[in-house]
Amino acid sequence: MNIAYLNGKYLPIEQAKISPLDRGFLFGDGVYEVVPSYSGKLVGFKPHLQRMNEGLEAIGIKTGWSEKQWLDLCLKLIQDNGAGNLGIYIQISRGTYESRAHRFPEVVTPTIFAFCFEIASPPVADKSRVKTYTVSTARDIRWDRRDIKSTSLLGNVLHYQQGVEQGNQETLLYNDRNELTEASSCNAFIVKNGTVITPPLDHQKLPGITRQILLDILLNDGQIPVEERAVSMQEVAEADEVWITSSSREIAPVVAIDSVPVGNGQVGDVWLAAQTLFCANRFNY
């Protein structure tokens, strides 16, 4: 049974109901988080919570919840759902109001919803077992505040679907300057001549927690050079390796872009080194 949380109650997810007047439903007026947990151990809880709080602040939603309340919510859902390999989804919308009006209601209680879904076992640093990705490319059509993890995901959904319809599992996105932003549900990295390169954080991309953890691990280790700088799509096309990162995938190797092999079309050695470090350190965050 899938036990969810909705506005103060833990209940089977089929019984979790919200009003169609909820602003999350009407306007996509809310933020969300996905925190991975393996056998009861969370990965990156603090940075995930910090990003969620920054998103709430950016759109003017106040929950009054403390870090302990959020942690207790996650731990209770993990226990109630079997403590296996779980993604914990948390969504906060501005709440339900009596009518549909764009302006923020003066008095409204945020809707807090959370549930768990099964995710694969923690990724392993093994070239023969890792799930590889092929991706499409597209000019990024999303709004100008992609740094907010908003539930308004239409642009992301359309981009993801573009990839699927072309037989791929993701879509790499680029801005008007032909520079890589991210992918529709992941951040993106390239490797060239042994250096790991990723575009810097700005409003054009989500500050991914996997991205943040990976950069931290690589910098602490100090063996692999890292650069945060603009990456042209030309560089993406000429890269030795391309990776996409997200909480449930960790570091996922991209082996073809628009049907053209990345590098030699195989999973690379720098990926192996990076995922090995990630496996050794994921629970330190």
Residues tagged active-site:
149
Distances (CA, A) of 214 to 52, 95, 97, 103, 198: 19, 35, 41, 39, 11
What is the number of helices (H) and of strands (E) in the chain? 7, 15
Shortest reach from residue 99's CB to ligand PDD, in Å: 30
The residue among 112, 94, 116, 92 whose CA lies nearest residue 13 is: 116
Shortest reach from residue 156's CB to ligand PDD, in Å: 6
Going across the sheet that includes 30-38, the strands are: 9-12, 3-6, 111-118, 85-93, 30-38, 41-42
Residues at the interface with ligand PDD (CB under 6 A): 34, 156, 182, 185-187, 206, 208-211, 245-247
Cα–Cα distance for residue pair 260/136, rounded to 1 Å? 10
Q: Which is nearer to ligand PDD, 136 or 185 (CB)?
A: 185
Shortest reach from residue 206's CB to ligand PDD, in Å: 4
The residue among 112, 48, 116, 120 whose CA lies nearest residue 83 is: 116
Distances (CA, A) of 127 to 252, 255, 267: 11, 12, 6
Shortest reach from residue 182's CB to ligand PDD, in Å: 5
Q: Which is nearer to ligand PDD, 228 or 238 (CB)?
A: 228
Neighbours of 177 (CB within 10 A): 8
Q: Is the dihedral of CA 268, 191, 124, 117 positive or negative?
A: negative
Shortest reach from residue 245's CB to ligand PDD, in Å: 6
Neighbours of 199 (CB within 10 A): 22
Question: Residue 33 corresponds to which amino acid?
Answer: E
